[in-house]
Amino acid sequence: MSDFFSLKFEYDYFVYINQTKLPLEEVYIKTDEYERIAVAIERLEVRGAPAIGITAAYGITVAMKNISDDYETQFYKAYERLKRTRPTAVNLFWALDVMKKVFESVDNYDGIYEKLKTSAIEIHNEDIKSCEAMGVNGVELFAKDSVILTHCNTGQLATGGSGTAFSVIKKGFETGKVKFVYSDETRPLLQGSRLTAFELSKSNIPFEMLPDSAAAFLMKQRKIDAVITGADRIAKNGDTANKIGTYNLAILCNFYKIPFYIAAPISTIDFSINSGEEIDIEMRGSEEMSYIRGVQVTKEEYSAYTPAFDVTPNELISAIITDKQVHKPPYNF
C-alpha cells in the first residue's frame, strides 16, 4: 500500500500533493479556492488526464461553497476558468460537463453545493474503480516475467486511483507477469524520472530510469517485452494523444516488433472527433527547457519547440486497454 495520496476532498477542502516538488519533497496543499485549483492544473502541480478531470470537478464544487446569491454568475465564471487551464486532456471537459449538467438540472439552488460535492466524489470514486478494472483487463496481455518500458507518469499521481498504465504494470508485478520496468525520464519536465520512479519505488517494483534517447538502443538489445503508456485523448478511430515522446516509442516498437499498448478509461475517448488530426495539442513555454527545477541550464533567449503531447496513429497501437475491455485493431469507438 502506498504511503502517500495524490488528491482527496476532506472537510470541504481539496487537498493534493504538489507534483512539481516530487520526488525530493512531499508537499501537500489544501485549498477551497477554485482559482488556486485552476493554477494548480496549469502549473502541473496536478497532472494526468483523469486527475485533471477529478480536480476540475472539485474546483467547481468549492466555487459554490458559501455562496448565497448570484449562483449562475459564480458557477459559469468558475466553469470557464477551469475549462481554460489545459486544452488537450478530454477528461477535463468531460468532468466539467458532468458538473454543469448537475447544476443546470436543479429548479433552485438550495443545497447545490452538496449536490455538486456528491457528483465530484462520484467521479472520483468511479475513477478508483476504473483504475482497478484497467489493471485486471490489461495484465492478461503480458507474458510471464515481462520487462516493460513506460513513458511519462500514469499512476496514482495521474488518477484518482491506482493509475492507468501503471495499474496494469502494478497488477502485472503482483501476479508475476512483470519482473522489471524501465521508466523513460520524459523530457522536458521529467515526469518519468521524478514521478513514475517515485511511484515504482513506493510500490517496491524493480526499475531503472531511462533517458528518452536510449529507448531504441535498449530495444535493439531485445531487452523490452512490451511498452505501455497512458493517453490524454483518444479519437474514435483509435488515434491517441499522449505525452510528447510517445509517438517515438510507438515507431520504435513497430520497427522492433514489440507490442505497444495504451491504457486509458472510457472517459478519455472523445467520441466527437474522428481522428487525431482534430486533437488540439497544447504548447508549453520555452522556460520548461531553459530551466530545470528553477535552475537555468541554457539561455532564455534561445527559442524552443515545446509541444506537451504528440499523436500516435492507431495503426501503431497493438491494443487499447480500457476499464470496460481490451480493444484490438481495427478501432472504431
So which residues are the catalytic ones?
232
If you write DSSP's letter for every residue of 42-93 in order, what string do you get? HTTSS-SHHHHHHHHHHHHHHHTTT--S-HHHHHHHHHHHHHTS-SS-HHHH
**The three cell numbers locating residue 286:** 520555452
The one-letter amino acid code at 197 reads: A
The one-letter amino acid code at 300 reads: E
Work out whether strand 319-321 and strand 260-263 pair parallel, antiparallel, or are unpaired. Answer: parallel
Q: What's 26's DSSP letter?
A: -
Question: How far apart are the two ends of the chain, measured CA to CA in Å?
Answer: 35
Residue linked to cell 530551466: 291
Torsion region of 186: left, alpha or beta (phi above 0 gives left; psi -120 to 50 gives alpha): left
Between helix 34-42 and helix 49-63 the angle, nearest 10°, is: 160
- Note whether 154 and 44 are within 8 A (CB): no
